[in-house]
Each structure stands twice: as C-alpha cells, then as structure tokens.
Copies of this chain bind each other. A is one copy, B any other.
Amino acid sequence: MSRERNGGTPLAERTSAAKGLADRLRRVGQRVTPQRLVILGTLSPGAHLSADDVFARVETHLPGVNRSTVYRTLELFGDLGLISVTDLGGGARVFELIDEPHHHLICHRCGAILELDDALVDPLRVAIRARYGFVPAVDHLALFGFCAACATATNG
C-alpha cells in the first residue's frame, strides 16, 4: 500500500476490478491493454449487453476504439471464461459478466423467455465431466423449444 510506484504496473490499474483482470490476463499470458480494461469495465453480472451496447459505452471512455477490437476482446473474454456469450434469438448475441450461472428457456413460437434453474443443469455438467473429462463452461445456456401454452396449442 505504501511504496508502490506507478512504474510497477504499466497502465492505470487503480480499481480492484481492473487490477484483478490485469492479473488474470497476465497469468494466462495475455497482454493488458487499456481497451481490454475498459471493455471489461462496461460489463456486469445481470446485464445483457450486445456488442454494440458495449462498443457505445467503451467509446465514451476511449474515443477511437474500433468495433473489431470490441468483438475480438469479447471473444477473448468468453474463451477465458470471464464472460458468457449467448444467442437469445434477438438478432444480436448478448454478453454478460459471469457471476452466478443462470439460463433461459426461449419459446420458438411466442418468443417468451423463462429462467431456467441452474440446479437442473448442474447434473449435466457433472455427467459430462465424469464421462469425458471435458469441463463444460455452461454459465448462460439458452435452450429453445415450446413453452407450456404453445406446446399445447401446437399439439392439440
């Protein structure tokens, strides 16, 4: 806390969130750049942001940032398991900081979106890991199908 020089960390990693990200990126051999810090800063758990939403917010803090950078960074964060990337069927994919896993059931017919309890998904996660050794990152699943009302309407 006392004799930490600015030169110690190449960038302004003052907030704890940014510092946490910076450390995490370095740990996996990724570079820490202003763009990456700001992009992560725009995301939060519970907020479904499109790539364009993220771009708009990032631009206010970092004018001149490029759309490609936003897309590439979001994909990187997705691969690193920092954020979830989900197609809810609304045209653009949504990005969200991962906190508690949560999922959605989306009706093909009426478009209704229900929440799906992660407790129902967890056994699948466990089974996959046990059977294949594959560690699934299912933090934000979107399953399509028919809601109770539409299923009845379609069959009957």
**A-side interface residues toward B, CB under 8 Å?**
28, 78-79, 81, 87, 105, 107-109, 114, 116-117, 120-121, 123-124, 127-128, 131-138, 143-148, 151, 154
Q: Is the CB of A121 within 8 A of B120?
A: no
Whether B123 lies near A134 (C-beta < 8 A) is no
Which residues from B are CB-within-8-Å of A124?
120-121, 123-124
Q: Which 3 A-B pairs have the closest CB atoms?
A: A133-B148, A136-B145, A137-B145
Q: Is the interface of A mostly helix, strand, loop or mixed?
A: mixed
Chain B min CB distance to A77 (Å): 11
Give chain B nearest CB distance to A122 CB in angstroms: 10
A131 to B120, CA, bound (A): 9
- A87 nearest in chain B by CB position: B87
Contact partners of A131 in chain B: CB under 8 A: 117, 120
Please report the C-alpha to C-alpha distance between residue A27 and residue B123 in the assembled complex, in whole angstroms.
37
In the bound complex, residues from chain B placing their C-beta under 8 Å from that of A148 are 132-135
Q: B138–A143 contact, CB under 8 A?
A: yes
Pair B137/A144 contact, Cβ less than 8 Å: yes
Question: A116 is contacted by which of B28, B107, B108, B128 (Cβ under 8 Å)?
Answer: B128
The closest CB in chain B to the CB of A149 belongs to B133
A128 touches B143 (CB 8 A): yes
Contacts of A146 in B (CB 8 A): 134-135, 137
> How far does the alpha carbon of A127 sit from the alpha carbon of B154 in the complex, in Å?
21
Can you list 22 A-B contacts with CB-CB less than 8 angstroms, sorted by A residue number?
A79-B109, A87-B87, A105-B128, A105-B132, A105-B134, A108-B137, A120-B124, A120-B128, A121-B124, A123-B123, A123-B124, A124-B124, A132-B148, A133-B147, A134-B145, A134-B146, A134-B147, A135-B146, A136-B144, A136-B145, A137-B145, A138-B145
